[in-house]
Each structure stands twice: as C-alpha cells, then as structure tokens.
Structure 1
C-alpha cells in the first residue's frame, strides 16, 4: 500500500493538473482538474449551461474541451453528472477528462517493470489472402529488426518514436517500450500485418481520455484500421462508460474490431474502454488460471497469457552496474513483461492473423476466434485464447 501511494504521489507531481476523485469510498480514479469533455454536437448546449464558470473552449477532433476557471472550484464529476441529465438516461454526452494508464502500471494496483530477455526469432510471414492493418494506441514505436525495414514503419517512424527517458534521470521510464512490446506480440500472431502506431500515453504510462479520442478520430478519418489494440484504460468516476469516448469508438464503424485490456486492479470493477459493449475486453492468464493482478467479471470477453510474456523491446542501458553476470537495466531489443496490456494484443493479433490468412473481414475473424461453441470459456474471463 505504501508503494502504491508513493507511485500515486509521484504521478501527481509529474502531472500537476491531475487530481484524485473518490465519489464512492474505495472507488478512486484520476481526472484532469477543471476540464470537461463534450461530444461535438452537444458542445454548444453544454457551454451555455456552464458559462458562469467557463474559462475557454477548445474544439478538438472528436470532442470539445471546456476549461473551467480554477477559482470557481467546480467539482468536474458532479458537473458532468448534472450536464448529462442526472439520471440513468443521459441527455448530453459529457465526461470529466479521465486519466488513462497503460497496464502493467496502475497507481492503485500492482506494478510490473520489464526485464531484459535474450533475442527471439522473428516471426515468419506466410502467405496472406489479404492485407490487414492493426492500429496500436500506446507509447509509440521504436525501431526494431522485426519491422524497421518495412514500408509501413518507415512512413511513421519519426512521428511515433518512443520517448525513453523523459525526466532525464538516466533510468528507462516506467512504461517506455510498452508500444514496441505490444507490436511484437501482435506480429507473433499476425506476421503479415501492417501496424499503425498512435502515441496517446507517455513513457510513464499516463495519458488522458482526450488523447485517446483524438487518436480514434484520426483512425476513423483514415478508415483503414481492421483491428485496434488499446492496452490502457481507467476506471470512471461513476463506473459508467464515458459517453464521449464511446462515441469516438462507435465512429470507427462496424468493420473495425477494437480490443482492450481488462486492467490490473485484481477486481471486477468495470475498466474502460474494455468494458464497453463494442469492445473486446481481455483479461490475463497465469498458466491455466487468472493472473492474480488481472481484472475479471461479466464484462470480460476473453483471456490470454499475460505473465512473463516475451516480446520486442527498446535498446537502453541504465545506470546500474552488472551484478552476478547480469545487467538488470540493459535492454537489447527484447524483454519479458506481465500485465493485461500484453494479453490484449495476443487476441488482437490472433484476429488479425486469421483475417489475413483466410481473407476474412475483421468482425468475421473475431467471431471465429471468440466463438464459445468452438473454444473453452472460463467464468468471468470469457473465451480462453491460448499462446
């Protein structure tokens, strides 16, 4: 508990506009202070209702951000609930700007850091009946021998480069390499897939709902993503899905499959966006059982191995000296890591791989991969996807 609180304190120092909210005792989350998000078509009505506190309006792709005057000391969660209509049926799409976190790291749950690993053989690309693109919303993508010579990586290399040591403390940031690791998991299951990276969280594993919405809106405009992997998320202040984020996911259309991690708080509390109806939420397994850190519940659709997963990583040498013949902070392109973050891309990759191999559209491939009549299922964990 002390370690969890220490991590939370460091996060709040690094993100000065973040604050902890706990409308229901024991159910905390983090939001951006004095910010409210509104779906575009509801922005005018919402701004009119908050005009006495409004300090500015920013129309972003997919959402409008209303900034409130700090001196007004507005409770953004209470305000969002009131603007939405106050009941179970929402009339306006309004949400606080929740912070989102990559999942191996979560401020109220377990934390796991990557460990250096020996090289892995690159996946062999067999014949594919169609091209498939998987979008990865994460920390970005570093060059790696598995894909650095591909056309799809060269097109986005500079735009999505991972930031490895943002605070300049000579240590690898807590989740630097997260996106690169996920890319490797996907390619192991779908070697012919083209990847499209969008950076929505920093090397500390933290971003916010608005960044995710921006990325989803870009993907909807682009229109070429078959599968989207989101290995991050959050609990919301009211344990309901953010209607603003839900609209951004819906805008992708029915031909795109969205896969998200179930979270690492070892609880059945819904974790978003994994718990949304159109999203495939993925829990983590340790052998044949649920990994002790993995979330679970009625809203989880599938489970896959998530402990000591081996994949691609970045190159980085930290300040610690080698001991006993090993160097615990020297990474040479490969690592092992644990978390629901790494179970989700196994499912995303399996769907993409089947779609490519058999010429299926992504929803049809997902139906095949997650068919409960053909696959083993586990209570509160959904369909079991083996390694």
Structure 2
C-alpha cells in the first residue's frame, strides 16, 4: 500500500488542470477544470446557453469540447447538471471531463505495483481458429514482446500505440507503465489468435480522461468492426450517474460489440463507470473463491474472475531501486504478476473472444454462453464466476 493522500497530491501536481470535486461528502472524483464535453448533436443548444462563459470550442473526433473562461469561475459539475436536466430524464448529453484511471490503482483505493516473475509460457491454441476475432484494448498502449511482436496486427500499430515508460525521466518505471501490455497478454492467454487493436488513452501514471476515451472510441468505429472491447479503467462521477456523452459513444459501437470493463478497486459498492453502464459487462476481482478485498461489488457487477497475482507479459526495464533480500523489485525481464480488477476484466474479455474464435460464434453469443447465470455459478454482488 502507498499513502493515498500523497498519491493524490502527486496526481494533482502532475495534472495541473485537474481538481477534486465532492458534491456529496465522502464521494469525490477528479475533473479537468473549465472543461465540459458535449455530444455533437446537442452542441448548438449547449453553446448557445453557455455563450457568456466559454472561451473556445473544439471538435474532438466525435465530441465537442468547450473550454470555459477561468475568470468566470464556473462549477463544471453544476453546469453539466443544469444543462443535461436536473430530473431523472436527461435531455442533453453534457458532462464534465472526468479523469479516468487504470485499475490496479486509484487514488482512493489500493495501490499495487507489478512484480517481476519468471517467464510465462507463450499462449498457443490447441486448434486453428474458425474465425478471426478483434479485441480492442483502450489503455496505456503496447510495448514490444515476444508473444506478439512479429504479428501483423502489432506491426500495423506499433508506433502509434507505443507505451511511455518513464515520462517524468526519473529513471524509474512509471506507476502503470506496462499496464496495456500486461492486459493484452491476459487477453491472448485466453484467445491466442485474437487480433489486438490498441489505443493509448492513459499515461504511464495510469491517468487519462473521458475526452481521450471518447476520441479512441470514435477512432475504433472508423477502423472496422470490433468483437470485444476491454476497458480496464474507469472513474466515479460527481453525481454517481453515468456520463451521457460516454454512454452514447459506447452505444454507438453497435450491438455486435461486447464491452467488458473493470469494476474498480475501491472496495465498495459505489457505481464505477463505464463498468456500471447497462450494456457493459462489469467485472470484479476474485482472490481464490472469495472477493478480492480491494474489489468493488454491487448490483451493477455482472461477473467476477481471478484478479490477485495474475501473471502475464510485461516490459523489459531495470529501474534504480536496489535489490532487497536477493530480489530486485524493478528489474523486469518481460514478465510480471499484478493484482487488480484491471486484470480480471481482460480474462473475461479473452474468454469471450476465445470462444467466438474457436466455435465460430458472434461475440454476443459467446458472451451469453460464458455469462449464463442459469448454467454458471454466481455470487451475490459479484455476478457470474468466470475462469476459476
């Protein structure tokens, strides 16, 4: 565990345009100051209503970003609530630009770093796949690894999806560098023939924002069909309701795409987004037969899978921390173990993709079979048990 107050201070120091908001005591989140996001269809109405406050408007690949004048001192949460509608039925798709986080870490939850481990056998399929399957991974990107570096799908996106390992140049691996690589490896362990389509939406510190996710979703739609989308990231929102802008963007992927997201690591039942969206498969983490102590849970969780000491491919990196008891804690040789709901989610995504590829099923049909609560064991507030 790391001191969470110190982690929050470091986050705010690194992201100087971010601010903690807590409209309801004990339910904080972090947003970009003076930024609101609007679905393009609603942009003309919103721009007219906030004309006196906004400084500039930017079309950002499927979403409109309004930058408000700092001197106006506008509360972006209150403004978004008023614009979208104070009642249960929202009339306009407007939201603050909320920060999202990869989930071994979140500043109010547990902090877990990857640990070097011995090589993990490369994934291999017992039989040739009956159809091609594409799994999109929106995360920190991908680093070269023997498991996939000769694959055509990796060569096609190697440069644009490359991970940033040490953004602050302190000669230490950034807190979540390798997160995307690790997740791709978990997917491939369950679906060795899957084509990974990676998009970098998180920095090496594991922090991104809703705007980056929306851009990536828009880009995915232009690049052709996606069978399964894995989102090992998320956030709490200021009002504990889903961002209507993000909800529309995920719905726009179409009913043929299965979206899987981690349930988050705050050890509570507060809805974590986008996992808690109705069309999304929310995945909690198990430790053996029980819920991992850090895992979120609740009525909105659909499935659970192992999420403690998961082993997968990782980076090659030797940091400056000295060995302790004969073990070098930051000398990675391409493999690691890591804990978090971040790594339970791609296990479920990979199982769905693997079943679709090996049995020539649609991703939706494969998900229905793997997540069938009638035929599979379930746990209260954790959903269907997968992969144990």
What's the TM-score bracket when you normalise by the shorter of the two chains?
Answer: over 0.9
Other structure's SS at 1:27 match: coil
Q: Does 1:217 align with 2:250?
A: no
Other structure's SS at 1:24 match: coil
Partner of 2:105: 105
Q: Is the 8 A contact 2:139 2:198 kept in 1?
A: yes
Partner of 1:226: 227
Partner of 1:114: 114
Relative to the length of structure 2, the TM-score reads: 0.99
Other structure's SS at 1:172 match: coil
- Per the TM alignment, residue 333 of structure 1 is displaced from its structure 2 partner at its CA by 0.3
Partner of 1:377: 378
Partner of 1:41: 41
- Per the TM alignment, residue 29 of structure 1 is displaced from its structure 2 partner at its CA by 0.2
Partner of 1:142: 143
Partner of 2:124: 124
Moved more, 117-126 or 249-258: 117-126
Q: Which runs of 5+ in 1 are unaligned?
A: none
Question: What CA deviation, in whole Å up to 9, does each residue of 1:254-307 have, x standing for no partner?
Answer: 000000000000000000000000000000000000000000000000000000
Q: Is the 8 A contact 1:283 1:294 kept in 2?
A: yes
Q: Is the 8 A contact 2:2 2:111 kept in 1?
A: no
Q: Which runs of 5+ in 2 are unaligned?
A: none
Distance 1:363 1:272 in 2: 21
Partner of 1:22: 22
Distance 2:31 2:211 in 1: 11
Q: Is the 8 A contact 1:223 1:252 kept in 2?
A: no
Distance 1:17 1:325 in 2: 42
Q: Does 1:171 align with 2:168?
A: no
Q: Does 1:280 align with 2:277?
A: no
Partner of 2:13: 13
Partner of 1:197: 198
Pairing of 1:305-316 with structure 2 (within 5 A): 305-316=306-317
Moved more, 23-32 or 322-331: 322-331
Distance 2:230 2:7 in 1: 26
Pairing of 1:290-329 with structure 2 (within 5 A): 290-329=291-330
- Per the TM alignment, residue 222 of structure 1 is displaced from its structure 2 partner at its CA by 1.8
Other structure's SS at 1:281 match: strand
Distance 2:62 2:376 in 1: 37
Distance 2:221 2:157 in 1: 18
Distance 2:120 2:305 in 1: 20
Moved more, 375-384 or 318-327: 318-327
Question: What CA deviation, in whole Å up to 9, does each residue of 1:85-110 have, x standing for no partner?
Answer: 22111111000000000000101111
Cα RMSD, aligned residues only: 0.9
Q: Is the 8 A contact 1:303 1:384 kept in 2?
A: yes
Other structure's SS at 1:218 match: helix
Partner of 1:78: 78
Partner of 2:351: 350
Moved more, 221-230 or 94-103: 221-230
The verdict on how the C-alpha distance between 1:105 and 1:279 changes in structure 2, with shifts beyond 3 A counting, is same
- Per the TM alignment, residue 2 of structure 1 is displaced from its structure 2 partner at its CA by 8.4
- Runs of 4+ residues over 4 Å off in structure 1: none
Q: Is the 8 A contact 1:375 1:384 kept in 2?
A: yes
Partner of 2:365: 364
Question: What CA deviation, in whole Å up to 9, does each residue of 1:155-182 have, x standing for no partner?
Answer: 1111111100000011100000000000
Moved more, 57-66 or 263-272: 57-66
Distance 1:62 1:80 in 2: 18
- Per the TM alignment, residue 81 of structure 1 is displaced from its structure 2 partner at its CA by 0.3
Distance 2:124 2:38 in 1: 45
Distance 1:35 1:297 in 2: 31
Q: Does 1:245 align with 2:246?
A: yes
- Per the TM alignment, residue 220 of structure 1 is displaced from its structure 2 partner at its CA by 1.5
Partner of 2:60: 60
Relative to the length of structure 1, the TM-score reads: 0.99
Q: Is the 8 A contact 2:123 2:189 kept in 1?
A: yes
Distance 1:349 1:247 in 2: 25
Q: Is the 8 A contact 1:270 1:299 kept in 2?
A: yes
Distance 2:23 2:348 in 1: 34
The verdict on how the C-alpha distance between 1:6 and 1:284 changes in structure 2, with shifts beyond 3 A counting, is same
